[in-house]
Structure 1
Amino acid sequence: MSSPSPSEATSPEVSPRHALAGLAILVGLLSRIAGLALLPGAAALTGPALWLGTLLLWRDLPRRNRRQAGLLAGLGLGLLLVARLAYGARIDWTAVLEGNGMVVAMLVGVSFIGLVGNLRGRPRPPGQAVTGRRGLAGTWLGVHLLGTILNLSTVFMVGDRLARRAPLTTPQLLALNRGLSSAALWSPFFASMGIVVTLAPAMDYATVLAHGLPLALCAGLITLLELPRRFDLSDTAGFSMSPRSLLLPVIMAVLVMGFHFGLTPELSIVGIITFLMPAAALVANLTRGPRWTLGRLHRHTLTRLPAMRGEIALFLCAGLLTEGLSTLANAATRGGWTLFDAFGAAQAVGSFLAIVASAVAGLHPIIGVSVLASVLDLAAAEQTLFAFTALAAWAVGTSVGPLSGINLSLQGRYGVAGSRMMRENLRYALAMAALATAVIWRLAA
């Protein structure tokens, strides 16, 4: 067995509070994995453990993140209070603590992938970068294609690879954002599609695909035309679509597909990613021996997991807001009132624009889509139109919404403010909204 390098042999000094927080986050991940496998009841520990880790690390959050997370949590608790006092709603505190817990567990699991491609414990020196429009196209296309299967984890795989060279620039961040968000238009493995299928079970996926995929390609074309006009890309590194760069993401995508269609078809893509990434890291490091592996996992728990405090806090508090709003909406609309007598082109366009506007205001599109579905009585023939409207609103809304999953991830991981991503994406969102409106009218006709 090879001896550890000096950098690996020395453990960093970690305070007891940070060590306990890292352990709590690890327990949250392991309880989620156990819930997916043999012990369904273990998943009840996921939310409390992640919240415990967040509270222990709260004082270490950057002031901007702490203010934003505190505002989200305060609004969520306030909405729950209104639902309880004004409408007598029953508060499901288990669901409140679990809000976004599944996504956070996936993010924690994805962090272990950093232990796969770097078995020496030292970052590889970056090779020659692909820059300019070609590099931008590689970043968008790589995130879009791989993201259709690996979802949000692809952003970290590609983004971390780009960040090895230098801090990510605005064009790189926008390519990551748009490449992933546009995949929501057609990917059958996205959370957006899972929500839509639940709300509109009679939708025709082939029709959605025939309209969503061309619109997604338009999103890429707009990006390739717009960003070179706004930014100098001559020194902006892009993601290389070379076999070496694609090796790890492609291997992971193949494994995810193998589990999804063969070994564990009952699990969602998010659930598979949650356990597969840590398992891959464990297997890859075991080639250096058990002692080496335990050392790297120990250091990852003590240092890397507490460093995810920004991502974890924002997602958990955003989930609390979502739970509060959905609880209030369900309590306020339980009388059977419907928003529209029929769901046609005008109603679909109005709903699409309202959901995107709410995303700009700070609400995740899942809230708008869920609230809309709760006040509609859709006929089977209307469900495909509703499904495409919801997916289009999700794709555009997540790109521009400051509190969407992708922008919360970019903020927590790379330090870019969600409000900045919103401003940088406004023109893109307007162009996509115009195209989506046209497609909705055509589909309705």
Structure 2
Amino acid sequence: MQETTTRQRVAGGLVLLGLLAQIVGFTGVLPTTQAVSYLLWAAVALLWRGIPKRSRIQAGVLFVLGVLMLVVARVVYGAEVNWPAMLQGNVFVATMLVGVSFISLIGTQGNKRAPGKRVTGADGVLRTWLGVHFLGTILNLSTILMVGDRLARRAPLTAPQLLALNRGLSSAALWSPFFASMAVVIALAPEVQYGQVALVGFPLAMLSGVLTTLELRRRFDLSEVDGFSLSPRSLLMPTSMAALVMLFHFWLTPTLTIVSIITFLIPGVALLSNLREGPRYMLRRIRQHTVTRLPSMRGEISLFLAAGLLTLGLSTLVAAAAGDEWTLFARFGMWQAMVSFAAITLSALVGLHPIIGVSVLASILNLQGGEQTLFAFVAVSAWAVGTSVGPLSGINLSLQGRYGVSGYRMMKDNLPYAAMMSLLTLGAIAGLSIWVN
């Protein structure tokens, strides 16, 4: 037991050092990406045995495939491989997730003063969806546990409650700049026009809420189903955080991406929030977060890092074998986008996280101009639908581990929703392809 505790403490410290090194890198004083990658991978290695078996297998396979492709590219095709830098893929996403985790230290996030009031029926389902959706745009995965625990105080969660939690959070990936999905696509397609993606993604997300309410009202008796709603006071923190991000992005640090700003801003606000109680209190909260919360992110961090290595290996091998000019599609238009969305979403049904499909697709495309924006929307929409229905998505794994729901049952209950959202998304892709091209 002592060994496990020591491993967690050391690994948590390494993750924290990785975050700090990444923030130092934003200043431009010295490049730190390689050092960050070593720190995070070292933490993953220390925590490897504690990663859930399915996630460990998935990350392990991605790692092995990535290394194997790099070896083949070097040995067979003579490609130049920067071996010391091969672990850098998706480091920016992993550190952003670490930074976002500090949101739990701000104010009274948690269960002591959970926001909102209880309601029942279809109105309660809709309010649950809205509460999870809008809190989730900032708080990410922790939202479903925060809201779910509040709902579970009265009775074990029912299928409608679980589905509202699942869909409320997953649909936020369609437009939230704070989600890992958006962080990934901004890095893979740096010329993406976020405003265009959000203008299409936000209405689609709202349709998800309407669809969820109508479908669950038809399938279940909701008269005794408790719901969760936001109070205006609860919106203050997410809204303030979003405003701060925009302030830094447009005025204070315009050279930094939204992902970079989130990475340092949320931990910074967390420190200031706790400093009001005194330096000792602040340090105690940070230490507790470092030795408990950060090690618990081992599954997410390992998956993102391994997917980054796979992307590098695949892109290097493809370039070496077929030449730099080869791409999967000569152009990335409406039909290509639709096929890509379908492929990534279907892969989620067999347990592949959407980041894998998105990363692989990006590595074999040569995106120009508006194609990057179209690709970005395909990626976030496939992420939104895929994580709702995929039995091994972070959302569903969290619900399984916390509330004992069957992953297969969640997938089965979400199939009609995923099918309808897919049809709506295909229509949105058609419209966006005309807009950007």
Per the alignment, residue 46 of structure 1 pairs with: 36
Contact 1:212 1:388 in 2 (8 A): yes
**1:236-251 map, 5 Å:** 238-251=227-240
Match 1:278 to one of 267, 279, 282: 267
Partner residue in 1 for 2:24? 34
Q: Distance in 1 between matches of 2:269 and 2:230?
A: 22
**Structure 1: how far apart are the matches of 2:375 and 2:297?**
36
Contact 2:140 2:179 in 1 (8 A): no
Cα shift at 1:242: 0.7
Which residue number in structure 1 is paired with residue 256 of structure 2?
A: 267
Q: 1:27 to 1:419 in 2, by over 3 A?
A: farther
Q: Which runs of 5 or more structure 2 residues have no equivalent in the other structure?
A: none
Question: Which 10-residue stretch deviates more, 420-429 or 374-383?
Answer: 374-383
Query: Does 2:309 align with 1:320?
Result: yes
Q: Which residue of 1 aligns with 2:142?
A: 156
Equivalent residue for 2:300? 311
- Mean CA deviation greater in 255-264 or 169-178: 169-178
CA distance in 1, matches of 2:111, 2:122: 31
Aligned residue number for residue 87 of structure 2: 97
| Residues 26, 238 of structure 1: alpha-carbon distance in 2 compared, 3 angstrom cutoff | farther
The residue type paired with residue 296 of structure 2 is A
Shift of 1:342: 5.8
Task: Name 1:179's counterpart in structure 2.
Answer: 168
Q: Which residue of 1 aligns with 2:346?
A: 357
Q: Residues 387, 418 of structure 1: CA spacing in aligned structure 2 closer, same or farther, 3 A cutoff? A: same
How far, CA to CA, are the matches of 1:173 and 1:23 in structure 2?
34
CA distance in 1, matches of 2:32, 2:329: 42
- Per-residue displacement from partner, 1:64-102 (whole Å, max 9, x unpaired)? 443343333333333333433443333344554233322
SS for the counterpart of 2:325 is coil
C-alpha spacing 1:410/1:286, structure 2 compared with 1 (3 Å): same
- Partners of 2:176 and 2:182 within 8 A in 1: yes
- Of 207-216 and 99-108, deviating more is 207-216
Q: Pairwise mapping of residues 54-203 of structure 1 onto structure 2 (< 5 A)?
A: 54-118=44-108, 123-124=112-113, 128-145=117-134, 150=138, 153-157=139-143, 159-164=145-150, 166=152, 171-172=160-161, 174-186=163-175
**Cα distance between partner residues in 2 of 1:203 and 1:305:** 31
The answer to whether the Cα contact below 8 Å between 1:162 and 1:237 also exists between their aligned partners in 2 is: no
Identity fraction in percent: 59
Letter aligned with residue 107 of structure 1: L
Aligned twin of 1:253: 242
How far apart are the structure 1 equivalents of 2:307 and 2:405? Answer: 17
TM superposition score normalised by structure 1: 0.77
Question: Aligned with 1:91: secondary structure?
Answer: coil
Structure 1 gaps, min length 5: 1-11
Change (3 A) 1:354 1:381: same
For each residue in 1:369-410, what CA deviation from the matched residue of structure 2 results, as whole angstroms up to 9, or x when unmatched?
565566667786877766655554444344445566766777
> What amino acid sits opposite 1:52 in the alignment?
A
For residue 26 of structure 1, report the CA deviation from its aligned partner: 1.3
Change in 2 beyond 3 A, CA 1:61/1:141 = same
1:198 Cα deviation after fit: 7.7
State yes or no: 1:297 paired with 2:286: yes
CA distance in 2, matches of 1:411, 1:419: 10
Name the CA shift for 1:433/1:86 in 2 (closer, same or farther; >3 Å).
farther
Q: Please identify, of 275-284 and 60-69, the stretch whose mean Cα deviation from structure 2 is larger.
A: 60-69
Task: Count matched residues.
Answer: 430
Matched to 2:312, the amino acid is E
Q: Does the 8 Å contact 2:127/2:227 carry over to 1?
A: yes
| Paired residue type of 1:280 | V
Deviates more, 1:316-325 or 1:372-381: 372-381
Distance 1:408 1:324 in 2: 28
Report the aligned-residue RMSD: 4.2
Contact 2:391 2:410 in 1 (8 A): yes
